[in-house]
Amino acid sequence: MTAGNGREALDRLKTHPVDLILTDLMMPEVSGIELIRTLRTRNARIPIIAMSADADLRDDQSLERAAQAGAQVVLEKPFAMNRLIRELRVLLSAPEAP
């Protein structure tokens, strides 16, 4: 499933369960941080990977806030695709995501 923004993701997740969330932090309507916080109140077990290019540009701690909100993995863009694949494998193979 894909969504164009955070609000659309939250709406679609009500009827389309997924195994993992991969989200950007900079999105219109509902930010990635808000998305993560909302998902944690709905389903604490779903694995979440958050990514952002703005963390370094603005020195705004957005990746740190994403981790505090409940993302298991945070990635600063650009990142190597093999790192994303490695993180996906780890999260999807875990018996239960924290």
Mean pLDDT in residue range 13-38: 93
Domains of the chain, earliest start first = 6-93 (3.40.50.2300)
> Is 90 exceeded by the pLDDT of residue 57?
no
Mean pLDDT in residue range 83-94: 91
Q: Residue 94: its pLDDT value, please?
A: 63
Backbone phi and psi for residue 53, each to the nearest 5 degrees, phi listed first: -95, -20
Q: Residue 56: its pLDDT value, please?
A: 52
Q: Residue 98: its pLDDT value, please?
A: 45
Cβ distance 70 to 37 under 8 Å?
yes
Which residue has better confidence, 35 or 44? 35
CA distances from 98 to 1, 31, 47, 66, 89 (A): 22, 22, 8, 15, 15
